[in-house]
Structure 1
Amino acid sequence: MNYFRLRIYIALRVSLHRLEMAVKTRPRWSDWALAAGLLAGYSILILPLGFWHHWLTLGVALPWPQGVGLAARVLVIPALTEEGFWRVLMLPHKTEILTPRKRWLVGVPMLGLFVLMHGISSLTLYPQGFPTFISPMFLLSATLLGLICTLAYWASGSGWVPVAMHWLVVFVWLMFLGGYSQLGLGG
């Protein structure tokens, strides 16, 4: 086996290990408590700033049956897909022996790429995200969401915790805080 094939084989094995561990690891009550605390801190910062900058607005975007459909779609994209990639596959799992410094040496660039990806997607694959996905408030919100999801993932070792956090934040933003109309999805 040549060096290139060996590197691919190792990368695939690491990715499969991370995915398996993230799916199989059941969150403990303390993991959910940490997630709730991180989400509370996130909300305490983002909600006042968002309302002050008129980025957030109160209202209900959709009637109940369509809201359930929106919740299901948001669970798949972005929650499962983004967390599955940016946290589970790209970050070391808690079973991987790394110093905190090395963990952050991987985590910080991945966080930056996670945020950058939103801006790039609004210019390419998801044009309805433009200009929202490049607004300072959205970028701050995405950065903090990525950070708290990273912290929760590293603490719990479960991919389910950041998926739930990401889902909740995006669903509430779209359904109740003006995100649906910001993305031009509302009539």
Structure 2
Amino acid sequence: MFSEQLKEKVSVLLVDDKQRNLDVLRAILSGLDYHLVEATSGSEALACLQHNEFAVVLLDVMMPAMDGFECAKLIRATRNCTHTPIIFVSAVADEMDFIYKGYNSGAVDYIVKPFNPAVLKAKVAIFADLFRTKKILIDQLHEARALCHKLEVEKAHGNEEKKVLLDMVHDFAASFEERLKFNEAITPALSIARSDVFTSTAT
């Protein structure tokens, strides 16, 4: 069951105002275990995030109307998107302040064009695997809580033999909760760590 869940397709959001850039990203990531969704503006990306859950967002920096920095901040402020990983894709390579601004606005990684397709695949795969693992932990937590409720009902009806088993299931549920918290903490931790690196480098 778990091995099948680890192979399930996850959604990846591609955001760029130029269709040719979206075509490049799609060509690199197509054929893998991803459902690729395209957005040609920041507002369109935010609309997609309102109705779908994404393992990672590949976000262009230089876009008209709403640039990538502003879009990233709004994504971070959107309900259920607080921990959605954002990878900036930009042609600007020599501006340290520019890159730092990307991390400071909520990105967990930064890719400079032209980039190595293998590197992009590897970065996306990391966050896709984290997303799948999170889903598995959530499912396990729900099952453990459901079993806890069932055992508590049986115990309330005088079945004291269920007490030991109930304590064990409570421990399992607590373990799943801690692992889920750790999984959710990884994404913001990556962003903070990378931001600190650029801060120390710039000073």
| Larger of the two Rg values belongs to structure | 2
Larger fraction in strand: 2
Verify same fold: TM over 0.5. no
* TM-score normalised per structure 1: 0.31
Compute the TM-score of the two structures, normalised by the length of structure 2.
0.29
Larger RCO: Structure 1 or Structure 2 (Cα < 8 Å, ≥ 6 residues apart)? 1
